[in-house]
Amino acid sequence: MTREILIAHSMAVAKLALQIARHTLPGADLEFIREACLLHDIGILHTDAPDLGCHGPLPYLAHGYKGREMLEDLGLPRHALVCERHTGVGIRSDEVVQQQLPLPVRDYLPESDVEILICYADLFFSKNPNRRHQRNSPEQVRQSLTRFGDDKVATFNRWHARFAAALQE
């Protein structure tokens, strides 16, 4: 089940990210975007997320940094950064400390245009087996981010203003 969930989710994210990139990031490396999307959640294999068929030792939130470690070991440093920086709209080091998150203390924020794009596209798709083929609306994304703070919604809104026109295609 894990493989099917991971593949379906990653392919949906890749399809949307490529659609947006073609319209908003001229000259972007589309092959890298596709590869990074397909690999962005690879770290879930080492997490404890039974609903996704994952029974590893790490908390789910660790999937980003674990994915980075995995991809760095394979010689894929750019892909690795996408893994580490794609969670939600990003996590600041002060949030790791204040909320006592089970992560090494550092920033987990998308920096490049491509990292932001993949992070944005990822927000539209759940890995929930019952919803994995449905794309969330922008309002559903905003609603899912409200529990993490108004600043997270504001970040999404900035990204949405930048990328929304490509969603209409």
- DSSP letters spanning 47-73: BEEGGGTEE-SB-GGGHHHHHHHHHHH
CA distance 115 to 136: 20
pLDDT at 1: 62
Structure confidence by residue, pLDDT tens digits, 117-150:
999 999 999 887 777 678 999 999 999 999 999 9
Mean pLDDT in the chain?
95
Q: Where are the domains of the chain?
A: 2-167
pLDDT digits (tens, 9 = 90+) for 47-84: 999 988 899 999 999 999 999 999 999 999 999 999 99
DSSP 8: H
Strand partners, 108: 91
Both tokens of 112, joined, read 């490049």
CB distance 39 to 83 below 8 Å: yes
Q: Kindly report, residue by residue over 29-50, the tens digit of the pLDDT.
A: 999 999 999 999 999 999 999 9
Average pLDDT over every residue of 150-159: 98
Integer-rounded Cα radius of gyration of the chain:
15
CATH of 2-167, one of 1.10.3210, 1.10.3470, 2.40.160, 3.20.20: 1.10.3210
